[in-house]
Amino acid sequence: MRIIIVGCGKVGATIISQLSKEGHDITIVDIDRDVVEETANAYDVMGVVGNGASYNVLKDAGIDTADLLLAVTDSDEQNLLTCLIAKKVGGCNTIARVRNPIYSEEVRFISEELGLSMIINPEMTAAQEIARILRFPAAVKIDTFAKGKVEILKFIVPEGSLLDGCALGEISKKVKADILICTVERKEEAIIPNGSFVLKAGDKVSIVSSPAHAREFFKRIGINIQRVRDVLIIGGGKMAYYLAEMLQTTGIQVKIIEQDEERCKQLADSLPKAQIICGDGTDQDVLLEEGVTRSDAFVSLTGIDEENILLSLYVHTVSNAKIVTKVNRSAFSEVIASMDLGSVIYPKYITADHIVRYVRAKQNAEGNSVESLYHLIDNKVEALEFKVQENAPVCNIPLEKLSIKKNVLVACIYRDEKTIIPNGKSEIKAGDTVIVVSGIQGFHDLSDILEEKA
């Protein structure tokens, strides 16, 4: 596809990195010449310097022949205007990054009136992921499929757990829960394991199952499944606002510590049920005074990665709270993964996953295209959801007789409101939702899981 990306900030650069790996013809637009040159050289893409909301700049970028335009600058209004011009001039599909809570209530109206293909809000999508985790704190990360009926949950095998030293093939006998272990992270390794693989304490394990079976599994292996009752949030930005709003609807008590007095007044007005504290959330005395040692959950959402990391490390030493840490930069992701930071949230990756899923689905609109896409282990393993169409080459054949590529796992089949953990005898049927876990990047269609015929 021919794709124009307007805005080369953190989100833009992550999207450029993902889409350039998938072989798309990309042109980037930004007002900063140095940023354009650096990004164009780093990812081998075309670059145009200028304001993306300008017709002439878009024309220079090739809007007449573009298939898709992504507007991801820091300005919501500029992104919407850019998409409007692109739609009128080029007739291409358009995606706008829109972050302001004022617009979040009008997404459907804006999208329909401006003819947008998608509106993406990184802060809101990240807040949704955090909210899911806080409702099920035993998990480090939760990804949902089949409209919430199937989940992939990541957790860490505790010391002394009955899973420690247990081969995967023996787990069903010991635990008797309808789940499938689909990935294991061990140090820097990303593994899609087989039945003989032996788990160890400290492994990060992802399971696929229905929410009910996941709860039963955690209960049987002795991991607490109680949802949090209260949460302490440091930083009162947009993400904190969205998160607090979501948590309050489920009865979770929210306390936000924010340093800016004017922002505290805004939060108090828009979140009357939340407790808003005006103070320095990075001050140890303030944290202790506001009950950090008694909180069920702690979420660090300041705008500075280093502060979030240090806060979470400190809270880990004084509390048993469920910890969530927001990180924007990913340059030291392997170091960060080795720290006790609880659930680490990268908003830009969440945004990139949404957009890559859309692009792949657009490329294959007539086939068994991607419905959902998540990166389970950095960019090493993908989990994809496909809706199976009639006459798909994988239909009505036992999985053991399909020539499925190595490092690819059919992890779950969802059919007639039932979650099926498949075995070799299982067959995929038309109308099924199928979850595939793959160490191979770039699948667009369910048939991509098969070895090519010689």
For residues 61-90, give the mean pLDDT.
92
Identify the CATH number of the domain in which residue 435 sits: 3.30.70.1450
Q: What is the DSSP letter of 388?
A: P
Residue 128 lies in a domain: no
Q: What is the DSSP letter of 401?
A: G
Residue 368 lies in a domain: yes
Domain co-membership, 262 together with 216: no
- The pLDDT of residue 331: 67
Residue 266 lies in a domain: yes
Identify the CATH number of the domain in which residue 266 sits: 3.40.50.720
Task: Kindly tell me if the per-residue pLDDT of 365 is higher than 70.
Answer: no
Contact 160, 168 (CB under 8 A): no
Domain co-membership, 35 together with 89: yes
Ramachandran region, residue 198 (left: φ > 0; alpha: ψ -120 to 50; beta: rest): beta
Residue 116 lies in a domain: yes
pLDDT, tens digit, 9 for 90 and up, residues 186-223: 987 889 998 899 999 999 999 999 999 999 999 989 88
- The pLDDT of residue 367: 62
- The pLDDT of residue 337: 75
160, 189, 220: which is the final residue of a domain? 220
Domain co-membership, 278 together with 206: no
Q: Which residue has the tokens 């400290």?
A: 202
Domain co-membership, 328 together with 235: yes
Domain co-membership, 248 together with 212: no
Residue 97 lies in a domain: yes
- The pLDDT of residue 362: 79
Question: Kind and range of the H or E element at 124?
Answer: helix 122-135
- The CA distance from 420 to 437, in Å, is 15
Phi, psi (deg, nearest 5) at residue 263: -65, -35
Q: State which residues form the domain around 302.
A: 230-345
- The pLDDT of residue 454: 55
Residue 133 lies in a domain: no
Domain co-membership, 234 together with 216: no
220, 253, 279: which is the final residue of a domain? 220
Portion of the chain with pLDDT greater than 90, in percent? 69
Helix (H, G, I), strand (E, B) or coil at 153: strand
Domain co-membership, 382 together with 312: no
Contact 433, 145 (CB under 8 A): yes
Beta strands in 31-149 (DSSP E): 46-49, 68-71, 93-97, 118-120, 141-145
pLDDT, tens digit, 9 for 90 and up, residues 120-156: 998 999 999 999 999 889 899 999 999 889 999 999 9
pLDDT, tens digit, 9 for 90 and up, residues 308-362: 999 999 999 999 999 999 998 766 777 787 788 899 999 888 888 888 888 887 7
Domain co-membership, 324 together with 367: no
Domain co-membership, 304 together with 393: no
- Specify the number of domains making up the chain: 4
Contact 344, 337 (CB under 8 A): yes
Residue 210 lies in a domain: yes
Domain co-membership, 12 together with 85: yes
- The CA distance from 18 to 30, in Å, is 18
For residues 70-75, give the mean pLDDT.
94
Residue 225 lies in a domain: no
Contact 311, 292 (CB under 8 A): no
Domain co-membership, 102 together with 39: yes
Burial category of 280 from C-beta neighbours within 10 Å (exposed 0-12, middle 13-18, buried 19 and up): middle
Domain co-membership, 372 together with 440: yes
319, 345, 371: which is the final residue of a domain? 345
Task: Kindly tell me if the per-residue pLDDT of 164 is higher than 60.
Answer: yes
